[in-house]
Chains A and B, each alone.
Chain A
Amino acid sequence: MSGVFVGMPAFPKNAAKAVQNSQLRFNLRKATHTIRGKRAAVVGELDDWAELRQAGKTIKDHTLRNLDRYLVELEEKVTAAGGVVHWARDAAEANRIVARLVKDTGETEVVKVKSMATMEIGLNEALAEEGIEAFETDLAELIVQLGDDFPSHILVPAIHRNRAEIRELFLKKMAGAPKDLTDEPRALAEAARLYLRKRFLEAKVAISGANFMIAETGTLVVLESEGNGRMCLTLPKTLISVVGIEKLLPTWQDLEVFLQLLPRSSTGERMNPYTSMWTGATEGQEFHLVLLDNGRTSVLADKVGRQALRCIRCSACLNVCPVYERAGGHAYGSVYPGPIGAILTPQLRGMDSELDRSLPYASSLCGACYEVCPVAIDIPSVLVDLRAKARHPRTERAGMAAAGWVFERSKRLAKAQRFGGRMRRLVPKRLPGPLSAWTDTRDMPEIPAESFRDWWIREGGTAGRRPAVPPDGNLPQESRKS
């Protein structure tokens, strides 16, 4: 994945900094709660949302299971319609292909419609190294680019900025911004529109991603809200689309489901404003499709983790996530922040870095993400599965082993409880070491003199039957078959 985030510290450290930033927290809270409310309203008005969600999940699972077949079908159809298909194993290969295609046109500037895949591979940076300048045309993406900033949200990459900050940025960095620019959204949009119009009219090459690719006809689909995508996809002579291999749908009929699921989950709209679809190239124009793997086939090989490939990048999970709301997108150190990022990034990049190992733990497992996911990705289950695969700190391993040992025999637990009961007056108000993380903001509970089980025994409570596990806690035999 993109090199822009390389070397970032682990999530808790990044998040701790973000939590202190009250302006950021205010911006994030306001924005996520607004979209959250809109989504809930438009999802709530559909009686068949649960069926749509199930259909979305089923179609994606079917496609992923038969990805080899559908990809070949797509390649045939795109080629027959006059397009050229390229296969890229990883980010470096994809960047090389795109840079070569742009150089072949003789151009040094390209316009871009917002694309997660090109951000994932760090395409803009790779093109810059080849002397090619890429202009982002999505308003929020433009704000991020002008500010030399990182995106912090999948749908609204500049969610961490408010309009006063954007006005200042435009005045400083955007050529031709009017001196009397106000921070009215209308005025800001107008200034950006004038700036971008020039780019659209001059550009000979455009780069896009795609929300969906339809195998049966070789058609690509882009959903956007500003019309900038329509400009990029139609005006320039050459169009290069970089698309992850999981974006495939077998048929147009399948698309019907997703054109309902995506806008309602994403922007909270009933229908998407600009939906562009194209098949191959028209005369006098060139179309290149770069199909990107970049770790996706290894995700597909994982029984639990593969459901992450169902993701349609709607960002509903970000907008309901209490952790994302406080930590912000940058803390995740990836172009995929929030709950989906926490399961996608460690799978795509591996868990070698401290940051990537910390991502599966960037969740309280509250389950809000799973509830809103339009393709029913069980994010908490994938998080827990990744946690089991992560390397654990030594002190934690020792603590967990000790707890496991105590819990393996009820007699040991009872002994530990009695010991705690005797020592209860000696427990300090502030705990030392890693446990201070608890007592820095919370009081310790009072440790009772007597545990529940000792009360039960003292009261003469009867178990009433011979238990399968005797009170000494020795399991008679392993009961699990698997």
Chain B
Amino acid sequence: MRVALFITCVNDTLFPGTGKAAVELLRRLGVEVDFPLAQTCCGQMHLNTGYRDEAVRLADRFTATFAGYDAVVAPSGSCAAMVREQYPHLGIENIPKVYDLSEFLVDVLGVTDVGAYFPHKVTYHPTCHSLRGLKVGDKPFRLLENVRGLELVPLPGAEECCGFGGTFAVKNRDVSAAMCADKIGNVMKTGAEVLCAADNSCLLHIGGTLKRQKSGVRVLHLAEILASTEENAG
């Protein structure tokens, strides 16, 4: 099976640690991933902000870049949903088979115990596009439950949007901030040290607010928790 990593532009530029963790995790599970250097962005920001022509150009580029791979793994539910759910609406053909990380691990590799060790209290935010777009269901939870040392605490109001929404966070700053305030209120109720999600764009928003408020709660991408082992535990 030829597997490619679609890092996404946000992770590539701002969160290389997530990409490294994904590569490390997949290698540990015996999957050798390619990273086609021609990749850039799936076009989601352009499409969702109303720039369809640019989005179609980027979608064409994506499709050509990942043609020929059996599976494309993306550490972002939102970007994976863009390719799988939105590309067909844009008239894109020969769309590569894209999986969010948890889908690839559970559905393709058939593993829920990835041999991770992470001795912390963690709560999980199931981001909207993973939940309602890709419908990943309980896959991330099954993966986290098998992490040794990890205490998973349920997040109240988990399925409610955090208020990121791409350019929504800037165009509707007040509503976005109000939504985030409620999300953070719920995170604080759990007493967790770490808020985990499978999308760094949502975590950029929630994490940025948590940091501004000096809450002491860290945010971490699912890949980084799953990549942690007793040897590399930080």
- A residues bordering B, Cβ < 8 Å? 11-12, 15-16, 19, 25, 322-323, 326-327, 360-368, 370-371, 381, 384, 387-390, 392, 396, 400-401, 403-404, 406-410, 413, 416-417, 420, 434-435, 437-438, 440-445, 447-448, 450-453, 455-457, 461-465, 467-471, 473, 475-476, 478-482
Contact = CB atoms under 8 A, between A and B. Distances in A.
Q: SS class of chain B's interface: helix, strand, loop or mixed?
A: helix
Given A437-B170, A451-B13, 11 more contacts: A15-B172, A322-B160, A363-B165, A364-B168, A364-B172, A387-B49, A408-B58, A420-B13, A451-B12, A464-B34, A475-B64
Given A387-B48, A455-B20, A473 B38 contact: yes
B68 to A, nearest CB: 7
Contact of A370 (B94, B132, B176): B132
B20 A452 contact: yes
Given A323-B172, A453-B12, A364 B165 contact: yes
Interface residues on B, range: 35 or more
A413 B9 contact: yes
Contacts of A11: 172
Nearest to A455: B16
Contacts of B161: 322, 364, 366, 368
B132 to A, nearest CB: 4
A377 to B, nearest CB: 14
A407 B47 CA distance: 14
A370 to B, nearest CB: 7
B97 interface: no
A68 to B, nearest CB: 28
B230 interface: no
Nearest to A450: B16
Interface of B: 2, 7, 9, 11-17, 19-20, 23, 32, 34-41, 43, 45-52, 54, 56-61, 63-65, 67-68, 86, 89, 91-94, 128-129, 132-133, 159-161, 163-180, 204-205, 207-209, 211-212
Contact of B12 (A361, A388, A417, A481): A417
Contacts of B19: 452, 455-456
Contact of A442 (B56, B166, B209): B209
B7 A453 contact: yes
Contact of A19 (B7, B128, B133, B175): B175
Contacts of B59: 480
Nearest to A371: B132
The 5 closest A-B pairs by CB, nearest first: A364-B165, A442-B208, A387-B50, A366-B161, A469-B38
